[in-house]
Copies of this chain bind each other. A is one copy, B any other.
């Protein structure tokens, strides 16, 4: 039973609970489902069971590792509702060679068993800080198989103190056996500092495993939360579920469990990023007034005995999570429309080279925010131009008119301004021209508008334009070649004429997004790593705020202007934690006319506008950025006789190679 009915949060609708080992957990599962949980997680093997060392030597390799009593058994129809948990005692990187060997063997056997049961996911123990050679090897081997079972590594959001679950990790680190990897103190204590940050544990493990798409995180929420930066960086990582132990809950006046404000924000944040919830621990809240309550105190859900009270001991926590879920801000229409596009890579449009389809025009024409801004811009420009124009009509040329939305905006603006206008609608796509003509007839605008089928760069205009109105911007402003097109149109701009838009800026920022990077890698070639993608960035985390990249102004000072650009942006991160840079996110803003602007920058995004998603420039090899280290990114806009392309690279904290040299992998045709 999902937490709520809304569909914009993906798997975050679902919540589960941790149950103790049971050979046949169907009773547990039934109890959890009846109480509203959607799934349970259950140990794959009896934690008490350790195969006697003597046995293994005597009985040889032909014996199975387990007998039927020691293993989780579920029917295949339940396999989607049970997530297997590998044994927590497993220490594949233990200093003790026997324990290490036994752990490796047992881990392999448990993963095999989970796979045999067709489980969708299996939960792995917490990696022992940075010392994870054999753990990584076991996962790499398991992930090499053809299955699609996901693996969730359990990771505390902050390092537990040595007296709690962290004891094992620190004990293992202090070992000095030749077969294990104690952290050397001599190396400037850098290992020690790194081992403080559990993100580093995760990063070490997933890198050794080669960033597998099937490896995700079960992130444990602590009582004391880390900084906002340390929380937000997880949004770009493959967090599959939040582990909420009951001990992080407070008690409200009525005896119900509640979370601190900070914890509420955190849970809400992850729910909004498709992360589901997993409850664990004994119940500390027996709710007296509950209709289903039976007064039982602190029921041990994880205990060895199966207790099935009338009410599931964790149900009050589930109800609280459901309350948080239902309390999430209602998504706006624009957001709902965009849900399907979240973190979905699209090749950028090439409107100059290809002709757009009618459907594409239609989608973009729905962006009322954008066109009303254009209408206001034309209106303001007409009013300002009144002294100059005197009694004569104004000449407005809409270049790249498409199916006519800017023609409509211009005529409406002119009407509001009380100004007679002559509009030229210039469009090179013959199919769009036909639809535009139909629109003019339909609206009775045939006399007011001259329809011209031409490429604005070649058209010989019959008169000069007072206003050249265009919508040629791409996700990075200039990436659909607005500069080259408008430079080509500048020939027919009147001396005091005005371009709408008159200027635009692009911005980039380094980002973490394991999802996008993996999707690019799935193409299995270099070409896609040297291609930019339009994408509604959602599960991502910036390493720093966006910075200004390139600027363009119209009209240009001289013709032809130099439309090549180069910039190295220095993103300082003095107080930021370690993160992995998977590439650059790009945005833009533009001035339509004076103070009438449009923006796709997160901080200044034009409300309700949906025409542009951000753009993503991947890095072939993700770059590890240590805490506090600056990121320097260089980007070039290059122009050739027949194409325009971008090249990019990072030079700090570590150099990448130059991406897309000479436009070998991607370009925009002129």
Contact = CB atoms under 8 A, between A and B. Distances in A.
Given A130-B651, A207-B657, A208-B651, A570 B141 contact: no
B137 A658 contact: yes
Interface string A641-670: 000000101011011111001101000000
B130 A186 contact: no
A566 interface: yes
A204 B649 CA distance: 12
A22 B131 CA distance: 61
A198 B657 CA distance: 19
B144 A661 contact: yes
Interface in A621-657: 621, 624, 628-630, 632, 634, 636, 647, 649, 651-652, 654-657
Question: Which of the listed residues A191, A656, A664 has the most CB atoms from chain B within 10 Å of its own CB?
Answer: A191
A137 B567 contact: no
Contacts of A141: 661-662
A475 to B, nearest CB: 23
A136 interface: yes
Interface residues of A, number: 54
A296 interface: no
How many copies of this kind of chain does the complex include?
Answer: 2
Interface in A375-406: none
A651 B184 contact: no
Given A130-B651, A628-B188, A658 B572 contact: no
Nearest to A621: B621
Interface in A82-112: 100
Interface stretch (A174-182, A410-418, A512-520): A174-182
A568 interface: yes
B664 A144 contact: yes
A222 to B, nearest CB: 25
Contacts of A136: 649, 658
Contact of A652 (B191, B209, B630): B191
A204 B203 CA distance: 24
A444 interface: no
A127 to B, nearest CB: 12
Given A651-B133, A651-B181, A664-B144, A656 B208 contact: yes
B134 A566 contact: yes
24 contacts: A130-B652, A133-B566, A133-B568, A133-B634, A133-B649, A136-B649, A140-B657, A141-B661, A141-B662, A144-B664, A179-B566, A181-B568, A181-B570, A181-B632, A181-B651, A184-B572, A184-B630, A186-B572, A187-B630, A208-B655, A208-B656, A208-B657, A210-B658, A621-B621
Interface of A: 100, 130-134, 136-137, 140-141, 144, 178-181, 184, 186-188, 190-191, 203-204, 207-211, 566-568, 570, 572, 574, 621, 624, 628-630, 632, 634, 636, 647, 649, 651-652, 654-658, 661-662, 664
